[in-house]
Amino acid sequence: MKSLKFKTVVIGGGPSGANAAKYLASSNEDVLLIEKDLKFDKPCGGGLFLKAFDEFDIPKTVITKVVNTIDIVSPKLKKVSVDISKHPLAIVHRQEFDKTLRDLAVEAGAKLIKAKVVNISTKNEGVRILARQLDGTEITINAKYAIVADGVNSSARVQLLGEHPNRVLTYYANLKDTTSSSCQFWFGDDISPKHYAWIFPHYNGVNIGLVANNKHKMKEFYNNFFKKTQIGGTIPKPKGYFIPHWKRMTLYKDNVFYVGDSASLVLPFTYEGIYYALKSGKLAAQAIIKNNPSEYEKSWNSLYLKKFKFLRTLQTIFLQNNWWIDRMVRLYQHPKFQTAVIEYWSGSREPASLFKTLYKIVRSLIKYS
């Protein structure tokens, strides 16, 4: 059995883990990145705001499409198109995107190994990890810190804290022969109660899917959705994968940082996770660089807690049933509402206080209904 020693071990080489490793290595930190599948194509629509590429210094060559319009589709199939050209969305192919992020980490000086972490424990102000390579070779790694970045099914979180990230189910499929120039968000109790279904341009065709919290009815919702889209042809076989449903969870404990999906850091309502994975990875790295672990949770909360609570409140109100969704789609017809939502979502406007928001929603409903 091989034995290694690093200051920091990052478990999982998706956006959160790879970005954490990049920022650590860029500051000459001693960091090991462990990824079990270097060809993993994470089930994902692959949409994130274009501005993230500048913020995290990611080459734009990895972008497959840029989207300037989103379509909101009501339960009664009323469609409202929203111009997002001031805050465009980029679409990436996750296999390529994740590889690029890992390459950046390695270029910055991180060590990358392909292995599956099978055990993690904390003791004596440190972390001990057991990883297994494809040929069966086992490696023990002792480190001061671990960054858990192994996604929504995080086995490290289960081992250390006895809980999964909070999550709901998605059903999705990639359709090669269909195109869409917009990102479409479809709402309705028959396709995705309390959440939404989507059609996103993909690197190769479109990605369609839905979020729901009822594993027995996923197939029915999916079939309903496919029929509603009128894409036509045979209904493609869907695949299932969990997506985090944000709730406030432990972000740091006993020398272990939890980032991205492993901490359920996906924005409520929109289910945007890539940006928050990148950002949480960076914030954890910065806390380690400063040797001040508690700074991670503090900076995350000061940047995003209000926004996450705000979006969760909007989701609870507007997606509770078709009546409310209809009101929301009507509100979307008004340019001021569109601008406010896109600015809140993209992070270019601070959310108002909860009380103020509820007041504004009620006032808008009276004004525009």
Ligand X SMILES: Cc1cc2nc3c(=O)[nH]c(=O)nc-3n(C[C@H](O)[C@H](O)[C@H](O)COP(=O)(O)OP(=O)(O)OC[C@H]3O[C@@H](n4cnc5c(N)ncnc54)[C@H](O)[C@@H]3O)c2cc1C
Angstrom distance (rounded) from CA 272 to CA 180:
19
> Strands 252-253 and 256-258: what pairing?
antiparallel
Angle at CA of residue 130, ends 125 and 134, nearest 5°: 155
Contact 10, 21 (CB under 8 A): yes
Which single residue is written with the structure tokens 């480190």? 143
Is 149 near ligand X (CB under 6 A)?
yes
- The one among 6, 8, 10, 13 contacting ligand X by CB under 6 A: 13
Question: What is the distance of C-alpha 315 from the center of its chain?
Answer: 16
Q: Determine the size of the site formed for ligand X (CB under 6 A).
A: 40
CB-nearer residue toward ligand X: 273 or 293 = 273
Q: Does 241 bind ligand X (CB under 6 A)?
A: yes
Token look-up 């929504």 returns: 152
Stretch that binds ligand X, among 23-31, 42-50, 158-166, 301-309 (CB under 6 A): 42-50
Q: How far is the CB of 195 from ligand X (least distance, A)?
A: 12
Binder of ligand X out of 21, 44, 50, 90 (CB under 6 A): 44
Pick 200 or 226: Cβ nearer ligand X: 200
Closest separation in Å from C-beta 297 to ligand X: 16
Binding mask 45-74 for ligand X (x = CB under 6 A): xxxx--------------------------
CB of 262 to ligand X, least distance (A): 6
58-76: b (≥16 Cβ within 10 Å) or e: beeebbebebbbbbbbbbe
Q: What is the DSSP string of 48-74?
A: EETHHHHHTT--GGGEEEEE-EEEEE-
**Interface with ligand X (CB under 6 A):** 11-17, 34-37, 40, 42-48, 116-117, 149-151, 155, 170, 172, 200, 209, 241, 243, 260-261, 266, 271-275, 277
